[in-house]
Amino acid sequence: MNAPKFAVSLMCMDFAIAGKQVSTLSQHADSFHLDIMDGHFAPNLSLSPAWLKKVLPNSSIRNEAHVMADDPDMWLEPLADAGVNVVSPHVETLNTHAFRTMNAIRSLGMGTGLVLNPLTTFDSVVPLLERIDILTIMTIDIGFAGQPFIDEMLAKIEQAAAFKAEHGLNYEIQIDGSCSEKTFAKLRAAGAETFILGNAGLFSLNRDLDQAWAQMRANYERTTGETLPAED
């Protein structure tokens, strides 16, 4: 298995100093995870393309938008204009136009992702797996940070990892929800490759984000027994 990757959820940042925090975390993280919510599909509101356009110039790493919206297509051009590199809509919103949306994302020069809610089966996305760069498996219900981890999702992660290996595919298995020292080991054992860090996994560890990152790495290594590559 490849070395793990770590994404940071911008929704959990201090918005008053978001630009500074993005600059700091760009030195450590592999990507930023950008939650876009419409207040309908997800019962909350979060980041907007206009806000991202102001903040993302501080980023020097991959910027991935997680689109929790009834109509993901309407967000594609604004997100591309804001500097997003990968767009990940929810499969639950793509029943009538999944392949058209994937093609639209590619046509705007962005990578493609898909997100599965906890009750959505892995089998439902099999026809699209050859077309995506990232498969995000939710291990909490969408909408709010700080929810308890749903252990039943480990089997879905195992399915995604087994299918990827069996068919020689390249999608990145990313986990969204309660990634922390309490879950790193079981997620990694199931086949997780990228961990999205929020309050529990990063921001609550230390107000100094360089120190918080060092603590997160120590937590990961201690709980998984895996030595992380040295940072550049």
70 is catalytic: no
133 is catalytic: no
First to last CA, the chain: 21
Residue entry with tokens 């120590």: 218
Q: Kindly name the residue from 14, 35, 38, 123 that is annotated as catalytic.
A: 35
Q: Kindly name the residue from 14, 73, 133, 176 that is annotated as catalytic.
A: 176
* Among 46, 61, 52, residue whose Cα is nearest residue 18: 52
Just list the catalytic residues: 35, 176
